[in-house]
Amino acid sequence: MWRVSKDDHVLWVFAKYGPLPMKMEWRSHEVEAVLAKSQEYLPSPTSHASTGVWGSIKLVAALPSIWNMQNNPNGATLREVVPADTYERWLALKEKYMAGDKEVERYRPIFAASSLFEHGLKQIGLSNKEQVLPTIDKLVKQYKLKVTPSSVSVDMSDASKLLKDFSKSTLEDGSCFATTLAQLETDIDNMRLRANAWANGDIELIRQLNFADREGTCRAAVEASTAFQSRPDLLEMRAKSRDMWIANAEKALESNTSTFAVLTMQDVLSPNGLIARLQAKGYKVEAPE
């Protein structure tokens, strides 16, 4: 956990990481000790789309799976929409991690890449399934902490129009596809090392293992689509939720002697992350030893 402080008021930031080993048993003693003496909990920033009768969804993540929008427009195949040399790399990895899957050949590159990545993780015993937050949520309830979310919701009562536009639009998702292939070609061993380093609290090893921002590259591809560009409120919601988290963190540091928060490892370590933003505002930041 990172320690952010102002005078004698402390914000403890737990850096979560994924992918992690499947069926990992997480020992939460240190986190529980901090939660027991804290007054407030700040979850990671999130953004949602309120879609009327469909409820609330995490838009970018849920869009293809809920409405089956993953296929290329006009029935095009991957061979037809990605460069020939990139497609050959895809075939080699597909044979290794998801041989026999014919349907994926009609997916848009961004969704084919996502499917391949999940299959690759599973084969090496890793998973992006959330294994830590359920335990934290249980402890937060046990110790009756005030929960202050940093969540932005956008009205999507006209979701059908966005989905129609999205299904017809062309995505500039070549970078997402290529980044995913490169990570599976060169970073498998490092993914294992990072997972073990996180489990053992070896922050220095994690710092040394640089890797491409696959998630950020793929998110940018979706946000650059015509459908999303027509909705500035959708494009702004991630930044707004992050600004809200900073405001909530500053308020908590002013009001509480101890606050517990969760952020991604990237947000903790990145020079452009949320911890760096707090440090730039003058708060003292101490990394775990």
**Per-residue burial over 54-87, b = 16 or more CB atoms within 10 Å of its CB, e = otherwise:** eeebebbeebbeebeebbbeeeeebeebbeeeeb
Helix (H), strand (E), coil (C) string for 111-137: HHHHHHHHHHHHHCCEECCCCCHHHHH
The pLDDT of residue 51 is 53
The pair of structure tokens assigned to 34 is 């901090």
- Mean local confidence (pLDDT), 148-168: 74
Residue 163: pLDDT band with limits 50, 70, 90: low
Residue 143 has pLDDT above 80, yes or no: yes
Comparing 120-134, 209-223, 257-271, which segment has the lowest mean pLDDT?
A: 209-223
Q: How far apart, in whole angstroms, are the C-alpha atoms of residue 100 and residue 90?
A: 13
Lowest mean pLDDT among 16-25, 137-146, 191-200, 202-211: 202-211
Would you say residue 260 has pLDDT above 60? yes
C-alpha–C-alpha distance, residues 43 and 140, integer Å: 11
pLDDT at 54: 38
Region 2-27: mean pLDDT is 87
Nearest alpha-carbon partner for 265 in 210, 169, 198: 198
In the predicted structure, residue 115 carries a pLDDT above the cut 60? yes
The dihedral sign for the CA sequence 85, 122, 26, 250: positive
Mean pLDDT on 260-287: 94
* pTM of the complete model: 0.81
For the chain, the average pLDDT equals 84
Position 167 scores a pLDDT of 65
pLDDT-based confidence at residue 155 (cuts at 50, 70, 90): confident
Cβ–Cβ < 8 Å for 221, 172: yes
Q: How far is Cα 244 from Cα 75, in angstroms, rounded to an integer?
A: 42
The rounded percent of the chain whose pLDDT value lies above 90 is 44
